[in-house]
Structure 1
């Protein structure tokens, strides 16, 4: 039976743009995760007061 591990990565809104909580850009961080074998399976946003404040990416990868 296949087994998976999961990871959630969040990008918060700063000055009208979504920024990585890490020092790298969101694209760099997402590409790094892809290189590590993570697959994005869902994207959802947190909405407060009618405006998205955070974008969350859910990743999974198969474990050995």
Structure 2
């Protein structure tokens, strides 16, 4: 049987990352400890700097 995966996408305010309102490394490490692997990070806007939100998509093997 082929591996099965589950996915999770989280969002956070871009200004929170760059103005240090929270530590993104702590959140990434927490998710990594739960078995999640970051597969993509992107903004919702059409161009660079057009969105105040960043989205991160993670995957892990489905139990």
TM-score, structure 2 normalization: 0.72
Q: Which runs of 4+ in 1 moved over 4 A?
A: none
Counterpart position of 1:34: 32
Higher helix share: 2
Contact kept, 8 Å, 1:44 with 1:55, in 2: the verdict is yes
Higher strand share: 1
TM-score, structure 1 normalization: 0.71
Structure 1 segments unaligned to the other structure (5+ residues): none
Deviation at 1:9, TM superposition (A): 1.1
Q: 1:33 to 1:53 in 2, by over 3 A?
A: same
What number of residue pairs does the alignment pair up?
61
Q: 1:53 to 1:18 in 2, by over 3 A?
A: farther
